[in-house]
Structures are given as structure tokens and as C-alpha cells.
Amino acid sequence: MKILILGASGRTGRLIVEEALKQGYDLNVLVRDKNKISFSSKLIKVYQGTPARRTDLAAAMQGCDLIISALSIARASDAPWSKLITPEYFISDSMKYVIAEAGQQNLKRLITISAWGVGETQKEIPFWLRWLINYTNLRPVYAEHESQENLLANSNLNWTAVRPVALNDSKKIKTLKVSLNNFPKPSLYISRQSVAKFMVDIVKSDKYDMKSPTISEN
């Protein structure tokens, strides 16, 4: 199986690449700057470009069986009020091309990162997080995750939208909690390492097909 990974140069995307290589998958990755990818493996082929340009995406998708997307809206820092440094509609614009090109290339399966607080989980999150989403620069980030989930729900792809809770950079792999319909109730934090492992682990599973599981750590 060959996987196309989008967002491979980001903090979570890099970990997804590492995990996929560890599990022995052949990879294509599409990044804006090849110099930001330093993995030396015969299993990885790097394409330079952007998923917001369909010709770049089409080239990187050739021969792939599945897509894992770690695309995000980057900000200047982790502070909620920091300015966006990625175009505001980057995820949804890219996802439109992903859906269209996947149809052309007969690719059926996609796993993407979304966020806890999207869709029906908005009522599950703490008040303070809801306030930050509504009144800071987290708002366009969450709006884009909402848009991509809506696009996927109306597509012909077999998708999974993984909704991690608040991310941290811990290297410890803790016991994972997977929640559907707020059961079991999620905890507040998860490491990027755990998110990456979960996303690669479900590549060969149909357990979360057409679902949006919330993932957290005990």
C-alpha cells in the first residue's frame, strides 16, 4: 500500500511520516519546500508543491491507495490571538481538489486531522475553549476543520476525520481514549505522537470509516 501524506512538514505531519515509515508503508509526500523533509528512506518520495494547486496534487497522488492529511491553518505562534500565516481557506480549498482528484484517480480512502469542538462536539468542549474559538484567531482554524468535514461528508470518499483534543509535544505514548458521541467523555490533552500513531494504525481498519472519533489520553 502506498500512502500520500499531506502536511508532512508540520509538527504532527512529521510524526505521521515517521510512524508510517516505521510500519513499512511506501509514501509520497507533498510539501512546499523539499528542504523541510529530511527523512532518508527508500520508502519515501518527496514532491514539491501545494495541495491548493491541483496539478501538484495530481502528480503526488499518482499510484497512491490512501491519503492521510495533516493540513492545518498555521499561526505565528500557539497564542490564540497570533496572526494566521496560512491562507484562511487553505484546508477547504485543498480538500476540494483532493476530492476531485481522488475521483479522477479512483482513490477511495482518506484519513484527516480535524479537531475536538467541530460539529456536534462543540457542545462537549469546556466553556473557556468555546470562548477562545469564538473570539480569537482559533475561529478560522475551527471553521476550516468544519468545512473540510462537510466537504468529506458530501463526497464519495471513504473518510475518517480524527478529532484530537488539545495537542502537546510529549514523547510518551499513553493509553488512548477513543470517543464517539461523547462516550467515553474525552480528557483534555493528547500528544502529537499519539495522534500520529492512531492515524497510521487505522489505515488497515474499517472501524472508523465515515466517522469522526475524538481521541484523547487517559
Query: What CATH number corresponds to the domain at position 209?
Result: 3.40.50.720
User: Which tops the pLDDT comparison, 40 or 211?
Assistant: 211
Mean of the pLDDT values across residues 67-71? Answer: 98
Which residue, among 149, 71, 151, has the nearest Cα to 116 in the 3D structure?
A: 149
Confidence tier at 38 by pLDDT (50, 70, 90): confident
Give per-residue pLDDT as tens, 97-142.
Answer: 999 999 999 999 999 999 999 999 999 999 999 999 999 999 999 9
Cβ proximity of 187 and 174 under 8 Å: no
| Cis geometry, peptide bond prior to residue 126 (ω within 30 degrees of 0) | no
| Domain count along the chain | 1
Angle between helices 90-104 and 54-61 (to 10 degrees): 50
In this prediction the pTM is: 0.96
Residue 106, domain extent: 2-217
